[in-house]
Amino acid sequence: MTDFVPPHIPPQMRPLGLLGSLRAMRSNVLTIIPGIAYTQPIVTGTTGPGRWHMVQSPEAMKRVFLDNHANYPKSEAMLRMLRPAVGASLFTAEGAQWRWQRRAIAPVFTARNVTALAPMMTGTAERASTRLAAGSGPVGIVGQMLSATFDVICEVALSGRDHFDADLYAEAITRYFLTIGRVSLLDFLEAPAWLPRPGEFTGRQSVRTMHRMVAQAIEARRARPAQPDAAPDDLLDYMLRAEDPETGRRMTAQDLLHNMQFFIVAGHETTALALSWALLMLAHSPDIQQAAHAEARAVLGARAATAADLSALPLTEAILDETMRLYPPVGFLARNVLRPDMLHEREIRPGDALFLNIWSLHRHRDLWPAPDAFDPGHFSAEARANRDRYAHLPFGAGPRVCVGANFAMMQAQIILATLLARFRFHPAGALPVPVMHMTIRPDPDITLRVEPIPDTPEK
């Protein structure tokens, strides 16, 4: 272990009030978390007209995600921020609308199909290595990892990125998060969703940019001669052929657009951020990086990783799990409450707001030794066996657990192991601050010095 303390957010030690909470939410959602949330299972308060609860215990997470999940649909404020980009897609739909889409899309992410997609991930790891080796001077890591994971998701979703300008698409995503994807004062005041928020006007162009690229890719596929007996090649093929067995319903053009949009954004943004944070942690933890390099080099030599290698790379997996403990893809989720319930002997009433505080769950003093440290030992086989399943939730849980979780982990492991076998990473810039709007991003970018390792075996 080193003396390195990973970037974190100082706990909020005083009530913020309505306007203070709004300012904090708009600048960085993580700054509203009170200090008591790192030591208690539930925190209750009021902001403006609303009563809220912030939960950060395995018991409460299991109740909300699994045992009583129908009582806790996604909050209207969160849906308001997401719908312009992804409509009533798998991520935002509820009830029967969600169930039939889940049945239609799930087959592409079975273990067998994900393994079949692994060669695309290996190819992406090769290209990422080539780009890093060709550079000179400090490297902006987030951009490099976004490019790598964008390659993979475009291959999986659309069998290529012919209709995408990756830089323009990435700019549109960032612009969306900073406009439509930010909380508004009207959300705090519980104004109806149909009342436009200021960010919706400034973010419309980003939505049009993303939707135009996705729509062009879909139309190009529709124009291709049909081959009804051919096996599906990618996610779009599955969606085009999907049919609800109960109603015979098929996806409309809008269903296709919104679901493809969701998978492209979620499928590369979150994995790229996990890889970026992992490389930052390793750059500041040279002993752990050396151990991971030795593991990767022993298994891979200098070649790129494949799916068959992953079982022999437990430290690489533990590094990613620990990184997503410290920097979960989404650190904070909001839920509505439909019917009365009890959480930790606290009365939960219809109309209350419920916040699933993944960030504090992953750093809770009662659940993790050295909760703010970077320690892959948190994910040793023994530690995993002795920990509650609901203490670590980077991909959610229950019926709506992320359908692409296995895909994301395989992609991240293949890329990370390949890079660790071929490069050493050193600090080259100021430590960033974790900032959450939709996802948890570093601000400023992670800047590292990348040192290629010779292909000859080390003595």
Which superfamily is assigned to 17-76+106-160+266-450 in CATH?
A: Cytochrome P450 (1.10.630.10)
The whole-angstrom separation of Cα 287 and Cα 284 is: 9
Cβ-Cβ contacts under 8 Å for 271 (sequence gap 6 or more): 145, 149, 408, 411, 412
pLDDT of residue 225: 67
- Contact of 332 with 436, CB cutoff 8 Å: yes
Backbone angles phi, psi at 254, to 5 degrees: -70, -40
Residue 458 confidence (pLDDT) above 50? no
**pLDDT tens digits, 106-159:** 877 888 888 888 998 999 999 999 999 998 889 999 999 999 999 888 887 777
Share the mean pLDDT of the chain: 89
**pLDDT tens digits, 240-259:** 887 777 778 888 889 999 99
The whole-angstrom separation of Cα 425 and Cα 34 is: 34
The whole-angstrom separation of Cα 353 and Cα 270 is: 26
Beta-carbon count within 10 A of 300 CB: 19
pTM of the full structure? 0.93
Least confident span in 12-26, 297-311, 362-376, 432-446: 12-26
Better pLDDT: 202 or 314: 314
Least confident span in 183-187, 268-272, 283-287, 361-365: 183-187
**pLDDT tens digits, 63-73:** 999 999 999 99
Instruction: Provide the residue ranges of all domains of the chain, joining segments of one domain with +.
Output: 17-76+106-160+266-450
Better pLDDT: 320 or 330: 320
- What is the arrangement of strands in the sheet containing 42-47, beginning at the earlier edge strand? 42-47, 50-55, 353-356, 333-336
**pLDDT tens digits, 403-425:** 889 999 999 999 999 999 999 99
Return the C-alpha torsion angle 133, 139, 143, 149, nearest 10: 40
Q: Which helix (H) or strand (E) holds 256?
A: helix 253-283
Residue 457 confidence (pLDDT) above 70? no
Binding site listing:
402
By C-alpha distance, which of 147, 74, 157 is closest to 108? 157
Binding site listing for heme:
402
Return the percentage of the chain with pLDDT > 90, whole number: 58
When pLDDT is averaged across residues 53-71 and rounded to a whole number, the result is 97
